[in-house]
A and B are shown apart, each in its own frame.
Chain A
């Protein structure tokens, strides 16, 4: 009886082992195949997600919308061409640079300082520009762009170009080029989007007090409002969408967009800025200025 039971158990065990072996014979190659397939396709779809912002199906295929944001120095130059005067006290003090502890704020303020650097450089305030370049190097290293900004030659190149506004502008455009290449090669474009958001708000802030109902600076500011939708898309491309500070900042920028889009002067014109740029009333300008100042104050406020 006992031997029968033992034999049955032996048969059962043998059968069980065979079943396991059989399953593993299929299971292990299946895992290997899955790994192989994942390494074939996963990277590509990830790449597509970072480059394509919106996906809308069309009648005869599909349509996707994307954008390229300009350089902060180009925004500053647009204001300068419109007649914006230099006011030293308006820029973000370089002493604040060490006080931004949160990554999102470090990125935003890297953008703020990029505009301040450009603003000083195009107005031939070379000493101030040099100080901002040092700050940008420091901030850039903090946010993971050290290979772009840790170049010790940068300051030497800057000093070489001191007194030559054109050479300084060349250098600033060159830094942006290197920064873009680095972010693209390392799938970090979303960092650039946040940096740009800081640069944009600083540009508007620098111009906001200089404008009146129909001034050229005011018109330039309204033109630059066309960037806001894409700035918000840029925020949305950041992988850490659950980050509390990022959520808060997105709401602030959406607030500006809402205020702007609800203005009667904006509603009545075409969405095409090449056909017509909205001409804001004084009241509307003041409402926009108030919003811009509030958001900029929130971003540059140290110690968050």
Chain B
């Protein structure tokens, strides 16, 4: 029995070590996301923090869509920063006036090929674009941000959104 454990102990230690090292990848990604979140906050410095969302995903063999609903009830200017620096596959960010299940929703703005980059936008430019497309609308009360993540080599990644309000 002792011989048996002598033989298998190095194997156990080896596998557990591999497990620990691999598990560290997740916390490394989280740490990177946290740094990018801070970068986004810097990009909209001077605003009052309203909210944030880190969207984790696994790149796979098919395209995937992530939708985030964000509320903009106040008349004040909302500023948004999105970091796709940890995204390795082609990513387009689309901003709509309604959820995906609303057939007649309007595409307000689109950022193409944003992987590896940071993007910024604000409600004043979105409202102008929206009114140009929909003259009856006065302003946006909410927006729907869509991440269209292309297929690619399997990897765990994330996109950071931070937004704030001009005082």
Contacts and interface: CB of A to CB of B under 8 A. Distances in A.
The binding surface of chain A is classed by DSSP as helix
Contact of A69 (B16, B51, B57, B74): B51
B8 A24 contact: yes
A174 B47 CA distance: 11
Given A39-B22, A69-B71, A177-B49, A226 B15 contact: no
Interface in B1-55: 4, 7-8, 11-12, 14-16, 18-20, 22-23, 26, 30, 34, 48-55
Interface of B is mostly: mixed
A75 B71 CA distance: 10
B26 A272 contact: no
Q: How large is the interface on A (under 10, 10 to 19, 20 to 34, 35 or more residues)?
A: 35 or more
B141 A274 contact: yes
A180 B15 contact: no
A71 B50 contact: yes
A272 B108 CA distance: 14
A61 B63 contact: yes
Question: Which residue, of B19, B22, B34, B53, has the highest number of chain A Cβ atoms within 10 A?
Answer: B19
A293 B122 CA distance: 36
Contact of B12 (A28, A66, A174, A220): A28
B49 A68 contact: no
A62 B14 CA distance: 37
Contacts of B22: 36, 39-40
Contact-residue size bin, chain B (C-beta under 8 Å from the other chain) = 35 or more
A70 B73 contact: yes
A81 B130 contact: no
A152 interface: no
Contacts of A36: 15-16, 18-19, 22
Interface in A59-104: 60-71, 74-75, 77-78, 81
A170 B48 contact: yes
Interface string A137-175: 000000000000000000000000000001001100110
Interface string B58-86: 10001111111111011100000000000
Given A38-B19, A63-B67, A81 B75 contact: yes
A21 interface: yes
Interface of A: 21, 24-25, 28-29, 31-33, 35-40, 43-44, 47-48, 51, 58, 60-71, 74-75, 77-78, 81, 166, 169-170, 173-174, 176-177, 180, 184-185, 220, 223-224, 226-227, 230, 270-275, 277
